[in-house]
Amino acid sequence: MSKTAFITGATSGIGEATAKLLANNGFNIIICGRRQDRLDALQKELSKTTNVHTCSFDVRDKDAVFQAVDHLPENFKKIDILINNAGNAHGLDPIQKGSLLDWDAMLDINVKGLLYVSKAIIPQMVERNEGHIINIGSIAGKEVYPNGNVYCASKYAVDAINQGMRIDLNAHGIRVGAINPGLVETEFSEVRFKGDKKRADTVYKGYKALQAEDIAKIIHFVVSMPTHVNIADLTVYPTAQATAGILNKDL
């Protein structure tokens, strides 16, 4: 029987590419995000290949998160794989100039939102003594870079939550692992720079950044391993980057 994957942040970037790849490899998918128009378009495209359900909610809204999970149609209720991907950076400022709104957004979405979605889905995995959770962290959760401060803090938190989940859920046979990408060319920088596309584009100029499809392939590889294999923590850079905040073109 096909496995069902619940993917947050599936309206663009890494989540969207993962939805497409998993759909094309026989997984049923539940695609989530706030932009219903994008979810509808993706559902239309991927329904030709597999079973697709859409859930539109803001991960910050805990009631909406629990409602979406509680009201899944019967054929989508059993979730085999949770991909905690929704998240973004908001701003890139020195700590003394950081915006409280940006800080709230990053901690509420990247950390608390991930926890709410996990809390809604983990009980059924515990009950069945099976399941697989993939947390999308970042190299920003391994190394702090200038002006990364609170975004890095949010991803360090994801790293800690990933480790905690793996330990606590181990007795239930649930696999938990993080994927920590370096620079991936998505809408990430457009969000970070509040729609300033010109500034966002410069982040990916002069070298070949990772593509969303590269991370999707890694996620597919991780979820396709036999159940006795748990890939706990995987860090991936574009070849042009060896550490956070530094590209070979700048050296």
Beta strands in the chain, from DSSP E residues, in sequence order: 4-7, 28-33, 52-56, 81-84, 131-136, 174-181, 184-185, 210-211, 233-236, 241-243, 246-247
User: CA-CA distance, 24 to 50, in Å (whole number)?
Assistant: 8
Q: Give bridge partners of residue 52 from the DSSP assignment.
A: 29
Using CB under 6 A as the binding rule, whether residue 244 contacts ligand 8X3 is answered as: yes
Tell me whether strands 241-243 and 246-247 are parallel, antiparallel or unpaired.
antiparallel
Using CB under 6 A as the binding rule, whether residue 157 contacts ligand 8X3 is answered as: no
CB of 170 to ligand NDP, least distance (A): 24
**What residues from 174 to 233 belong to the interface with ligand 8X3 (CB under 6 A)?**
182-183
Q: Of 151, 156, 207, 237, which residue is the catalytic one?
A: 151
Of 236, 174, 235, 219, the C-alpha closest to 19 is 219
Which residue number, 130 or 187, has a Cβ lying nearer to ligand 8X3?
Answer: 187
CB of 12 to ligand NDP, least distance (A): 4
Burial (CB count <10 Å: 0-12, 13-18, 19+), residue 27: buried
What is each CA distance from 4 to 44, 55, 76, 77, 105, in whole angstroms?
18, 14, 7, 9, 29
CB of 53 to ligand 8X3, least distance (A): 28
Q: Is 204 a catalytic residue?
A: no
Which residue number, 28 or 85, has a Cβ lying nearer to ligand NDP?
Answer: 85
CB of 244 to ligand 8X3, least distance (A): 5
Which residue number, 131 or 137, has a Cβ lying nearer to ligand NDP?
Answer: 137
Using CB under 6 A as the binding rule, whether residue 247 contacts ligand 8X3 is answered as: no
The entry of ligand 8X3, ligand NDP, none that residue 9 binds, CB within 5 to 8 Å by partner kind: ligand NDP
Residues lying near ligand NDP in the complex (CB under 6 A) are found at 8-15, 33-35, 58-60, 85-88, 109, 113, 136, 138, 181, 183-184, 186-188, 191, 212
The entry of ligand 8X3, ligand NDP, none that residue 15 binds, CB within 5 to 8 Å by partner kind: ligand NDP
What b/e string do you get for 97-115 counting C-beta neighbours within 10 Å, with b at 16 or more? ebeeebbebbbbbbbbbbb
**Beta carbons within 10 angstroms of residue 216's beta carbon:** 20
**Which residues sit at the interface with ligand 8X3, rule CB under 6 A?**
138-140, 148, 182-183, 244
Residues with catalytic function: 151
